[in-house]
Homo-oligomer: A and B are copies of this chain.
Amino acid sequence: MSAAGPGESVLTRAVRILEAFSQDEPALPVSEIARRAGLHVATASRLIAELVAHGLLVRDEQRLVRVGVRLWELASRASPALTLRERAMPFLEGVHDVVGHHVQLAVRDGEEVLFVERLSTPGSVVNYTRIAGRLPLHASSSGLVLLAHAPAMLREQVVEAGPLHAYTTATPAVPGRLRAQLAAIRRDGYAYCPGFVHEDALGIAAPVRDGTGDVVAAVGVVVPNDAAARTHLPVVRTAARGISRALGARPADAQGRGG
């Protein structure tokens, strides 16, 4: 996405500056931000100063730069992710009370799954998801639910994209197996994924629909990969339907149109 004019290039550079930060490295010196954003230190420095003036970035006592709470506020207050999350939260809390471990809510953004909420119990089974973190669509139970209900063209694109990452031997990383998996998810109304992302973990997810009947999110749990996991299935499916109803889905749609 190259710059078409002076206006465009400033926004592009500002976005690259914001992209320099991560959950593991929330505080960076200006020089490191410049390096990651591919900008001259002077250019980065000037843009950072302006972002700081707007409160989108802040400087801490060690002169390290961080993402400001103002950016979070601007992004959150009108965010569809926040509305979804607010409606879903009582259901997520209920599931978390009963199942423990990890409960999460995810949306599809392009060819990735983006986790917008996660409730975890300390000492739970391994889980690679993070709030505002991403995974490819073909591996996790939430991603597979979202991929199964994505537009056919995008679905084929992902399936045919060529080598998909196999996290474990159970990951549906080859086209035939992935296609069968997606068909099963549409037929059954849920994804049940033992060891797809990590051998010790098992993901269960179900689709959340809005008032138009479209799948807008996936709700799921990540629990230990053992025989007891299947007992959590009704809880996840019930939560998915409850959240769908809270979003205005009609009963038939909340249950899924695919059966």
B11 touches A74 (CB 8 A): no
B132 touches A50 (CB 8 A): no
B79 touches A72 (CB 8 A): yes
A69 touches B107 (CB 8 A): yes
Give the number of times this chain occurs in the complex, counting copies: 2
The closest CB in chain B to the CB of A89 belongs to B119
The closest CB in chain B to the CB of A122 belongs to B90
Question: How many residues of A are in contact with the other chain, CB < 8 A?
Answer: 59
CB distance from A130 to the nearest CB of B (A): 8
Main secondary structure of the interface of A (DSSP, over half): helix
Contact check: which of B15, B47, B51, B69 meets A56 at CB < 8 Å?
B15
User: Do A78 and B25 form a contact, CB below 8 Å, given A56-B15, A73-B132, A89-B119?
Assistant: yes
Rounded to whole angstroms, the CA-CA distance of A188 and B92 in the bound complex is: 35
CB distance from A143 to the nearest CB of B (A): 15
Contact check: which of B10, B75, B89, B93 meets A76 at CB < 8 Å?
B75
Binds B, one of A80-88, A147-155, A159-167, A203-211: A80-88
Q: List residues of A whose CB falls within 8 A of some B CB.
A: 1, 6-8, 10-12, 14-15, 18-19, 21-23, 25-26, 46-47, 50-51, 53-56, 66-67, 69-83, 86, 89-90, 93, 96-97, 107, 109, 114, 116, 119, 121-122, 130-134
